[in-house]
Amino acid sequence: MIKVLLIFLATLCPTISIADSDDKIVVAHRGASGYLPEHTLAAKAMAYAMGADYIEQDVVMSKDDHLLVLHDHYLDRVSDVMTVFPERFREINGKKRWFAIDFTLAEIRQLRISEGFAVSPSKNDASGEFKANYSQRFPLFKSRFQVATLEEEIELIQGLNKSTGRNVGIYPEIKSPWFHRHEGKDISQAVLTTLKKYGYTNKSDMIFLQSFDPIELQRIRKTLMPALKMDLKLVQLIAMTDWSETMVYGTDGPKPYDYSWMFEAEGMKTIGEYADGVGPWMSMIIKPDSTRENLNISALVERAHAAELKVHPYTFRADPEALPKYVANFDDLLELFLYQLNVDGVFSDFPDKAVDFVRAKSAL
């Protein structure tokens, strides 16, 4: 009732904003990845049942041009590829990597997907010791999980939308478009074509399309979407330059894209010219040197909102080793970002906890 009144008042007086809990969205980061191996259909179904508003898909391409839902453009952090195809790696900076783009979908289907792990010592092959990235999560190589295609995942979510009567959105990320294009594959064109086939065409549809690559996002906004008669909401993910998340190929080889302009006074305004939202790392908003009594808060959220951009930071994890030291617990972290700093949504590996928290706040 209060909300109805607020909406009525807001129509009379546009300066009244309705920043209540109903506006906050929970994005299931790689599915319910705190509980089941990331990006498996099981993790997506669990996230759906937990009440997530949007479910994330990271998208890479196979050798035979299938769109795969996979976080890395290599397969060796989450599968037994080192055992099944021991010789099919590329050596990158002295480390073996098994690239998804070197395998067909039929080959990738032979792999068992696992909770994520690191191999020690650093020699990255099956002779090393596998150690889980998060100690409290699903055990390594238990049960049976496979890589899904983007189409299979959209069909799962749209199928559940039909059978439950809910309207859960998708939040696909085009992974490393610079890498795919360098390998001769136009991943953005392929993703957009698939999204259109499944009815995602306009800003009013339940989708945010994200990428870390600003050059590619501008190409999507200015060239690819108009040609396909599409106009989706775009989200600029923000990285630190030294992560080498986005590379630019010049005459002297690939160099990390320089993100520093995004943190300057006009940065958000510039992003607002081609995107509808930003996905910053949470430490770009509250600096990691903060204490609960003395939070070091950046101007990012304020500048983004002034440029009419939504702010969906990543990644909200309840694992004990992942909580920032300036909060006492996970709810405290959600309270700070969603209600003190007023971000519009969160990417979380624990969608149940985030959904419960937002629902409890909106019931107040």
CB 237 within 8 A of CB 270: no
Minimum separation from the CB atom of position 111 to Ca ion (A): 20
Give residues with Cβ within 8 angstroms of 11, minimum separation 6: none
Q: How far is the CB of 237 from Ca ion (least distance, A)?
A: 7
**Nearest-approach distance from CB 283 to Ca ion, in angstroms:** 16
Q: How far is the CB of 129 from Ca ion (least distance, A)?
A: 28
Amino acid identity, position 263: F
Cα separation, 311 vs 134, in Å, equals 27
* Residue 73 is a catalytic residue: no
Shortest separation between residue 106's beta carbon and Ca ion, angstroms: 26
Which residues in this chain contact Ca ion in the complex, by CB under 5 A? 58, 173
- CB of 239 or CB of 304, closer to Ca ion: 239
Cα–Cα dist 167/158, whole Å: 8
Instruction: Specify whether 29 is catalytic.
Output: yes
| Nearer of residues 24 and 30 to Ca ion, judged by Cβ | 30
Say what the alpha-carbon torsion angle 236, 242, 245, 251 is, to the nearest 10 degrees. 110
Q: Which is nearer to Ca ion, 173 or 245 (CB)?
A: 173
Q: Tell me the H-state helices in the chain.
A: 2-12, 41-49, 81-84, 105-108, 150-164, 177-182, 187-197, 214-219, 225-228, 267-271, 300-306, 330-334, 351-362
User: Residues of 36-65 as b/e, b for ≥16 C-beta within 10 angstroms?
Assistant: bbbbbbbbbbbbbebbbbbbbbbbbbbbee
Residue tagged active-site, from 39, 66, 71, 180: 71
Which residue number, 27 or 318, has a Cβ lying nearer to Ca ion? 27
Region of 235 please: left (phi>0), alpha (psi -120 to 50) or beta: beta
Minimum gap (Å) between residue 155 Cβ and Ca ion: 20
Name the residue among 279, 257, 281, 258 with its Cα closest to residue 268.
279
Contacts 24+ apart (CB under 8 A), 132-140: 134/34, 134/317, 134/319, 134/321, 134/322, 135/319, 135/321, 136/319, 136/320, 137/34, 137/35, 137/319, 138/35, 138/36, 138/37, 139/115, 140/114, 140/115
Residue 53 or 58 with smaller CB distance to Ca ion: 58
CA distance 91 to 78: 18
Comparing CA positions, the residue from 239, 241, 223 lying closest to residue 231 is 223
CB of 351 to Ca ion, least distance (A): 14
Residue number with CB closer to Ca ion (58 or 115):
58
Q: Which is nearer to Ca ion, 58 or 352 (CB)?
A: 58
* Beta-sheet pairing, 54-61 with 67-69: antiparallel
**Residue number with the smallest Cβ distance to Ca ion:** 173
Q: Please give the Cα distance from 14 to 17 (Å, whole number).
A: 7
Catalytic residues: 29, 71
